[in-house]
Copies of this chain bind each other. A is one copy, B any other.
Amino acid sequence: MIILGIDPGLSLTGWGIIEAVCRDKMLALKYGCIKTYPSAPLIERLQIVHNNLQNIINTYKPDVVAIEEIFFLKAAKSVAAVGQSRGAIILTVAMNKIPLFEYNPRSVKVALTGYGSADKHQMQHMVKTFLKLKEIPKPDDAADALAMAICHINTIRW
């Protein structure tokens, strides 16, 4: 199974592709970030997010997408920015008819560390360990996206 994990944002959207044959056999195929610049009009930024995501889907043909839920404790302006990017991302997934799974930040932490209040460093360390990587994936948004995909692998029945 190919899982695409997404950490949605407007300036930075992290993404990570993992291939898994079971809970104990997972391999990071590729990960990265989609960047858009605040100086560009919103319509162009959402088109960039869509075009890049469509390229990733065309290349890796994921069976499922795992995406982070919106974190409501942030400022309304930040929620609006993430929300609009997330709407464009989810519509892109819908148009490709790929099943979508949403996970909240706490359940991702529990799935990776067994601990709902794990910090960023602990999470990144577990991403590195699960994927048997030599280094912690960079940038942080890509590591967060890989964590989403691992959360899905560790949550579903195999």
Contacts and interface: CB of A to CB of B under 8 A. Distances in A.
A55 to B, nearest CB: 15
A70 B92 CA distance: 22
Interface string A86-119: 1111111111000010100000000000000000
The main secondary structure of chain A at its interface with chain B is helix
B90 A46 contact: yes
B84 A90 contact: yes
A91 B80 CA distance: 15
Contacts of A100: 41, 43
A47 interface: yes
A7 to B, nearest CB: 16
